[in-house]
Amino acid sequence: MAKSYGILDAFKFIRNKNQYYRMSEYEDLKTGDIVAEALIDWGVDVVFGIPGDSINGFIEALRVRKDKIKFVLVRHEESAALMACGYAKYTGKLGVCTSIAGPGAIHLLNGLYDAKADNTPVIVITGGTSTDLMNSSFQQDVNLMNLFSDVSVYNSMIGSPRQAEMAVDIACRTAYVRKGVSHLNIPNDVQEQKLEGNYSRHKVPGHTSDIFVTPTSADKRLIEKTAEILNNGKKIVILVGQGALNASEEVIDVAQKLNAPIIKAMLGKAVVPDDHPHSLGGIGFLGTEPSSDAMAESDTLFMVGTSFPYIEYLPRPGQATGIQIDIKPEKIGLRYPIKIGLIGDSKQVLSELIPLLHDRRTDRRDNNTSAEFLKSKQDAMKKWNDILNEQSSRADEPIKPQVVAAAVSNELDDNAIISVDSGINTCWAARFLKLKNGMKFSGSGSLATMGCAVPYAIAAKIAYPDRQSVAFVGDGGFTMLMSEFATAVQYNLPIKVIILNNKILGMIRWEQMAFLGNPEYGIEFSQIDFVKIAEACGGKGFSISKIKDVEPVIHDAMREDDVPVIVDAHVDPFEAPLPPKISMEFVRNIAKAFAKGQPYAKEIGLTLSIDQLHEKLRGLHSHKQEN
């Protein structure tokens, strides 16, 4: 006898058929597997991290997909985050790192703040306490949602496999669009749960997508107004940063049309080659005297992809008309009063602007002032480079750090990738590592964290295995994360680590003396034999303590392609990273520090005096040693 159905049964049938959808393509996969698959869909091909109890479900998902996505085991979680940041900076792709809950997640934070500060898209996936033990003071139970709330642009806990694909898509899209960190926390038990049964009534399979769109161009009327201002500018200065790295040709085209010098924030060092006739080098404490003068004289400041923080090195407010291109609206007007802000990708905006600009190379209208301005700064740059050449050819011992930096620069491949650490070594890198077209260069810009260079160099070598990858570091920064040299050995990544070994926190010495007028305190290190460190890890070590060894040892080290290498270059600890223009306050503060009992005052004073003497005599003789 056929079963009869009542009206209640009919409603149940409609509900089950139309309101509760069956699973997606990921049916029967665990949450960890879904997350891994979704990351692969977004083009992720490497994850940096350390396994552990609360993240092992996700690690297993990576293991069974190791032909599609590489897992790189690091020695410290901070390095995993720094590698993810460096990887994203050098490739433009998402950087991804992972860790356990509690201490592992806490260790990630410094590297993640590096990504946040430099507007870099990074995904971080953390494990968590099982859902039935949360907030019970269980082992390694930390409130990661609160912990990551400030560093992230997207911060979510995946509570079930039904949420996983959508959460990954939102995290990746948000990291790309907002140029920041997306955090996904997955409780331990959730990682093992399978996608099965039905979605909720409002959930539709396949509704989410792995695609993003960023604003690429500004309002055309604003571009036209920008062209009008630039065409009328007499002394235009272009300041470029990391956001202009994809617009090198366009930046040069604009500069040539406007007779405008180009000044580079540190993360924008690779935008144009250092020897380009329009380049005035860097800005700020690490910068050049011509760049300082150009800023002081300019009537128009054109900022492209930068929010350079040291506003005292920019024109005085009201002196110059400000124009800024940035992909993040909140950055417009942050550092300088802006007449026009153009929101969009630097390359696209400049491409639309260029046809509207008068070419002052052929159009002689009101051209004299801009041509004279550019020529004066180019002449000043030649004199500045003469000073740098003099400093890098000194035959003194202890060896000057400038000599080592110049020797490294001479051995860089045309497509080298240079990762610089934070500290006094940054000064020497900014001035003496000469970038050519096709090179990449980065470091920790706004956060300026020490210890970043070796993780960055490892990430660069993973991304570009056929390119020379160099970490330019001080001994202080290197020792913070020197265990990662073993990571380079383990994965057969022949990076070059150049250590300027002065046995102190060199930049902090000068901050204490020259900025505050205090004697140095708490900055000296005991000696470490970095050659033995290199060899103990399975790499190769070189040591330099004599001037005659600088060039041959650097050459041999930079040509070693079988194993990672360390060059332990013992340099003068008293060499001062002088600003491009020395103020009276700088001099007075050093005098105060001496009066208060500055250690090594005699040695520092003698070094400063000799440096000044050498600059005055630079045109009279050369310090190049006889061959």
Instruction: Note the pLDDT of residue 197.
Output: 78
Q: Decide if 210 is inside a domain.
A: no
pLDDT tens digits, one per residue of 561-579: 999 999 999 999 999 998 8
Q: Is 609 helix (H, G, I), strand (E, B) or coil?
A: helix
Same domain, 509 and 447: yes
Q: Decide if 9 is inside a domain.
A: no
pLDDT tens digits, one per residue of 398-442: 999 999 999 999 999 999 999 999 999 999 999 999 999 999 999
Range of lowest pLDDT (27-41, 102-116, 187-201, 474-488) = 187-201
Same domain, 308 and 267: yes
Residue ranges of the alpha helices (H) in 273-366? 289-297, 346-353
The two tokens of residue 581 are 């223009």
Q: Decide if 208 is inside a domain.
A: no
Same domain, 377 and 419: no
Instruction: Note the pLDDT of residue 88.
Output: 98
Distance (Å, whole) CA 54 – CA 605: 56
Confidence of residue 9 (pLDDT cuts 50, 70, 90): low
Q: What are the CB-based long-range contacts (under 8 Å, 24+) for 539-543?
A: 539/485, 539/488, 539/489, 539/563, 539/564, 539/565, 539/566, 540/564, 540/565, 540/566, 541/565, 541/566, 541/567, 541/568, 542/566, 542/567, 542/568, 543/567, 543/568, 543/569, 543/570
pLDDT tens digits, one per residue of 176-205: 999 999 999 999 999 999 998 778 777 777
Instruction: Note the pLDDT of residue 218.
Output: 82
Q: What residue numbers bound the domain in which 309 lies?
A: 220-381
Measured at the CA of 518, the angle between CA 515 and CA 519, to 5 degrees, comes to 125
pLDDT for 5 beyond 80: no
Same domain, 423 and 294: no
Same domain, 486 and 609: yes
> What is the CATH classification number for the domain harbouring 254?
3.40.50.1220
Confidence of residue 138 (pLDDT cuts 50, 70, 90): confident
The two tokens of residue 95 are 């950087």
Give the residue from 329, 357, 381 where a domain finishes: 381
Same domain, 263 and 144: no
Instruction: Note the pLDDT of residue 2.
Output: 46
pLDDT tens digits, one per residue of 199-239: 877 777 777 777 777 766 788 999 999 999 999 999 999 99
Instruction: Note the pLDDT of residue 368.
Output: 86
Instruction: Note the pLDDT of residue 314.
Output: 97
Give the residue from 175, 192, 209 where a domain finishes: 192
Same domain, 261 and 114: no
pLDDT for 545 beyond 80: yes
Taking the model in full, what pTM does it have? 0.93
Same domain, 499 and 430: yes
Same domain, 445 and 585: yes
Confidence of residue 135 (pLDDT cuts 50, 70, 90): confident
Confidence of residue 294 (pLDDT cuts 50, 70, 90): very high
Same domain, 376 and 398: no
> What is the CATH classification number for the domain harbouring 410?
3.40.50.970
Q: Decide if 26 is inside a domain.
A: no
Average pLDDT for residues 113-133, to the nearest whole number? 95
pLDDT tens digits, one per residue of 442-483: 999 999 999 999 999 999 999 999 999 999 999 999 999 999
Instruction: Note the pLDDT of residue 537.
Output: 98
Q: Decide if 557 is inside a domain.
A: yes
Instruction: Find how far residue 591's CA is from the centre of its chain.
Output: 36
Give the residue from 330, 356, 381 where a domain finishes: 381
Distance (Å, whole) CA 222 – CA 215: 15
Same domain, 86 and 227: no
Three-state helix/strand/coil letters over 321-337: EEEEEECCHHHCCCCCC
Instruction: Find how far residue 12's CA is from the centre of its chain.
Output: 57
With residue 301 as reference, give the H or E element that holds it: strand 300-304
Average pLDDT for residues 278-300, to the nearest whole number? 97
Instruction: State the total domains in the chain.
Output: 3
Q: Decide if 197 is inside a domain.
A: no
Confidence of residue 367 (pLDDT cuts 50, 70, 90): confident
CB neighbour class for 619 (10 Å; exposed up to 12, middle 13-18, buried from 19)? exposed
Sheet holding 440-443, edge to edge: 440-443, 417-420, 469-474, 496-501, 565-570, 540-544
